[in-house]
Each structure stands twice: as structure tokens, then as C-alpha cells.
Amino acid sequence: MKIPLSKPDITEKEINFVNIVLSSGILSIGPFVEEFEKKIAEYIGVKHAIAVNSGTSGLHLAVRALGIKDGDEVITTPFSFVASSNCILFERAKPVFVDIDPDTLNMDISQIEGKISSKTKAILPVDVFGQAIDMKSIMDKAERYSLKVIEDACEALGAEYDGQKAGSLAHAAVFAFYPNKQITTAEGGVIVTNDDEVAKLCRSMRSQGRPITGLWLEHERLGYNYRMSELHAALGVAQMERIEEILDKRQKVADMYNERLKNVAGVKVPYIHPKVKMSWFVYVIRLERGIDRNKVMEYLLSNGIGCRPYFTPIHLQPFYREMGYKEGDFPVTEAVAKTTIALPFYNNLTEEEIDYVVEKLKEALSMA
């Protein structure tokens, strides 16, 4: 049996919508992009949504739109996909890491104030694996110190903390739609904000710095080609029309894993904070210390089961080490990262397939 790590959920609806675009002759800057933005804004409960070609592009534009520049510092987490830190480096600003909560794996909010300096301009929290962080607490700290907040919600479409949707409180937030995310546009992302000026700047910068209502060959600021195409947006519109169905499917897969793994010796299932409504991006287990993770993963892979360690700490990536970061800088992040395994996780993963994954995981643990 071959079970991939992830697989998009594409139905006839998605295929039909993409075919409509192909037949229309409008492949870029058209009605599906506008419709996708409208659906996202309404779903999150914000004024503006600006579609872009990736979550990374969205984070970059949010950093620029909020005025973060050379020499500024942005407080963020070392336990994330590298884009949440790279987007700060793009503007020659400095990521300042704080360690993580050992349960939620999100940024340890209690450590933020200790990292604020005269150079701090923003906080960039991440909703890791789809677990929404306590944004109200972060926004309170930001207001106290006159800081901006960019929420990296790329893994958390549909997640909530204390009834508040991820992406709804920050000065700007970003979602991503790679094929392993809750919904997919194949490649794509979106910036959401209630700030009219941030929205205006992001719309301009995503399209080579053009003015919103100006001439095509007029450029009033430095910009990029970060636009989302009509094809990608059509896929996104179809997926957003199925959003509740999709999130429900993912919850059911997570429930099946939780039920089968909760009493397996050596395995810790994902912790969910009591105030969080989880939006499952990946299903990541943690192994007890002393278990050889590499042997476990090798056995799973040899039996056709996709798996991956999530995440390698950002500060220990090769080019971050060149900046002076080293092992021991963020002990909780490093300890967690040595124990994690992402198991196959997608909407239509069957009970039979989950049983096979769990069976082979138990066999691997008995040998590790």
C-alpha cells in the first residue's frame, strides 16, 4: 500500500471552474480573483483580501506595507516554515526569535516583552500546524509598545482562538494555499486586513507597483509580480464553496488518528488548547525521548508511508547558522523538533489507510 504525505481534494466543481476560465480567454486579472478575495474576506470577517501567488509573497508584501525596513527588528518564532522569518530578511530587517510553548508549539507569548528593544517594529506570530495563537494577548502587547502585528496564518484557515477566527485581529495576516493546505489554489496565498492603506499598498505592490486606478504602464512604487492568476483563483473559489465540508473531513481524519494513537506507548498525539478550534493542516505526532526517530521514519517509508519531520528549527538552517545562531539558543524548539513526525494527512484518507499507518508505526516503534 502506498500512502502519500498529502493529497489535494479536487472534485468536478474545481475542474468545471478551471475549465470556465480556460474557455473565457481571461487568464489573469479577472472575475475569479475578485470572487476569491470576496469569499476569503467574508469568511475571515475582514474588510480586505488581496490574493497573491504564494503565502511567502503575501508575508513579504505585509512586511513592506507595514513599513518594516533595514535595521528594524521583528519578534517571531524559530519553529515554523522558513518563510515566516525569510520575509523579514527580504527587507533587511532582523528576525528576533522567542522560544515556543512546549504544548501548543506556538510562540511563547510570555517571552515577547523580554525581546522588545528600541529597534523592534513588529511581532510576527505563527499559527503552527493550524492551532490558532492567542492574538488578543499579542495585540494588547503590540498596542502597549506601538508595534505592528503580522499573523502568519498560512497553516490555519478556519482556526479559531476563543471564538475569534485566525487572521481577523492582526494589522495584516496571511493565508497560503499550497496543495497540502486546508484548501488549495495549487500555488497561492492571500493577505487579509482591515487597514485601507495596507490593502492599497499590497494591491499595488503585487502588480509591479501600479496605482490601483492608473495606467498599465504607470508605476508609482517598487513592486513585484505577485499576482494570482484566474486559473488559481477559480480553483480557490470552488474550494471555498466547500470549506466547511473540507474542514469537517480533516477533523474526522484527525479524530481517527487520535483514537488509534492516544494509548500507543511512546507516542504523544497533538495537543489542542482548550480555547482553540483546530483547523488541521498536518497531523504531527511526537515521540518519547530515546526512540530513534530516523529508524521509525525509515521503516514507515520502506512500507510506502509518506512521513516527514516537522519542522527543522529555522535558526539551525544552514544559512541562519551563518548569522551566528547555534544549537542551544532555543531549547524547547530544538527538543520538540527532534521528536516530531508528520504522518499522512488529507481529506479523503480512508479508515483502512489510517489503520495501515498505525499498524506500521507500532511495528516501527517496537524496533526503534
Domains of the chain, first to last? 12-240 (3.40.640.10), 243-367 (3.90.1150.10)
Does pLDDT of 170 surpass 80? yes
Mean pLDDT of 33-61: 98
Each residue's pLDDT tens digit, 84-94: 999 999 999 99
pLDDT confidence tier of residue 368, bands split at 50, 70 and 90:
confident
User: Is the pTM value of this prediction over 0.75?
Assistant: yes
Mean pLDDT of 136-155: 98
Each residue's pLDDT tens digit, 211-250: 987 778 999 999 999 999 999 999 999 999 999 999 999 9
pLDDT for position 91: 98
pLDDT for position 215: 78
Mean pLDDT of 103-119: 98
Does pLDDT of 57 surpass 80? yes
Each residue's pLDDT tens digit, 328-349: 999 999 999 999 999 999 999 9
pLDDT confidence tier of residue 275, bands split at 50, 70 and 90:
very high
Q: What mean pLDDT value characterizes the chain?
A: 97
Find out whether 125 and 148 touch, Cβ atoms under 8 Å.
Answer: no
pLDDT for position 213: 77
Output 102 or 216, whichever has higher pLDDT.
102
